[in-house]
Amino acid sequence: MNIFGGSSVWGSEDNRDFIASNEWHTPDESSRPGAGSNSIMSTTLESGLNNLGIAGGLGTSQDVDEVLEQSVWGDSNTNNHQHAGSGSDALVGSESNGTNNGNGREVGITDTNLFSPYSLNQDQDQRRSRESQRSQTQGENNSGDDESNEDLNDWLESVRKTYHPLSPDTVVIEEIPEREGLLFKHTNYLVKHLVDLPNTEPSKDRSVVRRYSDFVWLQEVLLKRYPFRLIPELPPKRIGSQNADPQFLERREKGLIRFINLVIKHPVLSKDDLILTFLTVPTDLSSWRKQAGYDTTDEFTDKKISNGFIKMWQKRLSEQWNEADASIDKSIEIWLKITFLLERHEKRIKQIAHERNILRSLINDFTQTTPKLYPVEHGSTILDITNQFSVIGKHLQTTTEYNEQEVDASSSSLIPKFKIFVDVLFSLKGLFERYRIMAGNNVPQLQRRVEINFEKLQTMKGKPDVSGAEYDKIRTAIQRDKKCIVLELNRAWLIRQCILEEFTIFQETQFIITRAFQAWSKLNASFAGLKLNEWEKLTDNLMDMPLSYQ
């Protein structure tokens, strides 16, 4: 399915087949804003970038500024529109050669010339000529593949080294007991960072007071500035009497701790000035927001994609992204069930501890009734039996304490290690969703408009009754659209680089899985050993209990 519009826009069958593969796909094209309308937005980066490439721009060694000056605005030395087919007019419709990125694909304009008109029934000789050129350069491409793979691997490794999800948490949050507010009471949190932050002057105790709404503001600002980064989710908000629920407040506090530490560990988000402000400004943050001016434009403003990234890009990277996108919901579902079972096991242990306390109390009560059932005058063995009840009671008390310790350790240490991975998966899911909604561009529409205007210029050439003003107006429109195409494709490449960085650092989170199950095994082994030791001691003691009168 060609999500960009009619097949006549794309030219050759090769191009249409490639676009149909939809490298950076969206699961449901019809559900996207503008689907089926004249303003269809492109989120298929491979087809939108490689097949539409930018002439001599993002795919060459030229700087993007040179592209904007030459490929978009034309040759400044040829401004006379009256010379048909020369100067800037020739530039508007010229065939620009693409640049090979070392992976057997051309990044610049090749099969589909972004700035030239073409027909659906493309000349077969041209296609055979391109195939011949490809076969001639195949040997060069093979050698380029090795170099590109090496560059890509170095780049991926350098990105992964910037992220350390297993590093200790550096921000702690504590609920302040006193609640504020006249009508609706709200909870304040003491947020304290344990390490020095760059370019800041924190308070002496490195702590600030924040409300839940301050965390919401922080997340909203991060989503505006970094829409294609792994922004963690916040715990849910409740109003009214539910806010006074101790269990809810405890869960929310733990969720806020996971949120802020995920942000702090992120190699890009942690350097944001508003993050530092959030952690260090001692005043009320809502008052500070009203007085201070802060920028919320996204991180791509005034940035240009590097040619090195374009050259090392490989299609398999986007295929991996799509596979992860297709499996994220199932992964979240499975991990949530795992976490739920561990929490239910924790509740069972808590219930066992409660029931053993009851059992110990019942055994003590039973000790008071046995002398009436078994008078000593009939035999003293009952005393030997009841004397062991105290040993059983001590055993139950000790094992109950172990169960309570296990519950505390599970709640404070083990379960958070599993829940942090839930937050990581949801942050990746959010990135997938924002990409589908926000990564679109109008390149196909702009390209078609350039073609139509170029055809108008061709029909105007040689006609004496055509006014120079009208000719210049169309030509200016072409140049303006070409500039928009370059800028939109530059942004699309920046998005591609950004989400590849995020997906690369996401690979480090697999070790959260390792740490979680290691902690689970260690916790169970530790308390199982303690309990086993108590059961063995009890068994040895109970061997002295009489089994007969003799």
pLDDT tens for residues 120-154?
Answer: 333 444 545 555 565 555 655 555 667 778 889 99
Average pLDDT over residues 277-303: 87
DSSP labels, 74-101? --TT---TTSTTSHHHHHHH--PPP-B-
Higher pLDDT, residue 533 or 88: 533
Task: Using pLDDT thresholds of 50, 70 and 90, give the confidence band for residue 445.
Answer: very high
Average pLDDT over residues 378-393: 89
Higher pLDDT, residue 391 or 199: 391
DSSP letter (8 states) at residue 106: B
Please, are residues 313 and 103 in contact by the beta-carbon 8 Å criterion? yes
Q: Would the pLDDT of 59 be above 60?
A: no
Q: Would the pLDDT of 67 be above 60?
A: no
Instruction: Show me where the domains of the chain are located.
Output: 7-161+439-507, 171-299, 333-429+509-542
DSSP letter (8 states) at residue 208: E
Predicted local confidence at residue 259, as pLDDT: 97
Predicted local confidence at residue 306, as pLDDT: 92
CATH topology of domain 171-299: PX Domain (3.30.1520)
Looking at 83-97, 248-262, 481-495, 532-546, which range is the least confident one?
A: 83-97
Q: What is the pLDDT of residues 18-44, one digit of tens each?
A: 323 334 544 443 333 333 333 333 444
Amino acid at 442: N
CB atoms within 10 A of CB 252: 23
Higher pLDDT, residue 67 or 316: 316
pTM over 0.75: no
Predicted local confidence at residue 53, as pLDDT: 42
Burial of 40 from C-beta contacts in 10 A (0-12 / 13-18 / 19+): buried
Higher pLDDT, residue 239 or 382: 382
Predicted local confidence at residue 36, as pLDDT: 38
The two three-digit tokens of residue 357, written as one number: 């306390």
Average pLDDT over residues 431-437: 95
Q: Would the pLDDT of 189 be above 70?
A: yes
Predicted local confidence at residue 96, as pLDDT: 36
Predicted local confidence at residue 7, as pLDDT: 32
Task: Using pLDDT thresholds of 50, 70 and 90, give the confidence band for residue 240.
Answer: low
Predicted local confidence at residue 294, as pLDDT: 85
Predicted local confidence at residue 281, as pLDDT: 87
Q: What are the strands of the beta sheet with 171-175, ordered from one edge?
A: 171-175, 188-193, 207-211
Q: For residue 427, what are the CA distances in angstroms to 235, 261, 263, 326, 422?
A: 13, 13, 11, 15, 9
Q: What is the pLDDT of residues 481-523, one digit of tens each?
A: 999 999 999 999 999 999 999 999 999 999 999 999 999 999 9
Burial of 175 from C-beta contacts in 10 A (0-12 / 13-18 / 19+): middle
Task: Using pLDDT thresholds of 50, 70 and 90, give the confidence band for residue 224.
Answer: very high
